[in-house]
């Protein structure tokens, strides 16, 4: 998905303002990752203000592009797993819902600088 395709989807889903706030602060890397250049927290995950709460930016991106909340698994919301292992990446193609168990069972091949 290109940034423009993500923009069209986010706008159609009613999240134009949230998308534009995030889009201003991402940089498209040569390997396809969309690197968050805004505030980051623990482990390099990006954080953004969304619906009155500080939220993880990759989770917000997932919600606004797909136009739905992240699914629930048992009593918790599912993890969003980075297929690229780059924590600050917000590219929708690199983000996938996983149950907590599956996510924690995966190992990153190596640390990647973002
Ligand atoms: Zn990525």
* pTM for the structure as a whole: 0.87
> Which residues have CB under 8 Å from 56's CB, separation 6+?
41, 45, 46, 47, 48, 80
Contact predicate 80/45, CB 8 Å: no
**80 Cα: distance to centroid of ligand 1 (angstroms):** 12
Q: What is the DSSP letter of 40?
A: B
**42 Cα: distance to centroid of ligand 1 (angstroms):** 18
At 3, phi and psi to the nearest 5?
Answer: -60, -40
pLDDT digits (tens, 9 = 90+) for 55-100: 999 999 999 999 999 999 988 999 999 999 999 999 999 999 998 7
pLDDT digits (tens, 9 = 90+) for 18-56: 999 999 999 999 999 999 999 998 889 999 999 999 999
**Number of helical H runs and strand E runs in the chain:** 4, 8
Residue 111 lies in a domain: no
Residue 27 lies in a domain: yes
**28 Cα: distance to centroid of ligand 1 (angstroms):** 9
* DSSP H helices in 13-97: 16-23, 57-66
Domain extent for 38? 3-105
Residue 79 lies in a domain: yes
Residue 110 lies in a domain: no
Q: What is the total count of domains within the chain?
A: 1
Residue 17 lies in a domain: yes
């Amino acid at each position: 998905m290109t940034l423009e395709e993500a923009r069209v989807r986010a706008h159609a889903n009613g999240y134009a303002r949230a998308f534009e706030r995030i889009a201003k602060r991402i940089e498209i890397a040569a390997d396809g990752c969309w690197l968050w250049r805004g505030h980051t927290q623990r482990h390099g995950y990006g954080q953004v203000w969304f619906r009155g709460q500080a939220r993880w930016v990759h989770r917000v991106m997932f919600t606004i592009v797909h136009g739905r909340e992240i699914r629930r698994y048992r009593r918790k919301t599912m993890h969003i797993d980075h297929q690229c292992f780059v924590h600050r990446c917000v590219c929708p193609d690199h983000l996938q819902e996983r149950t907590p168990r599956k996510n924690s069972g995966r190992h990153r091949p190596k640390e990647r600088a973002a």
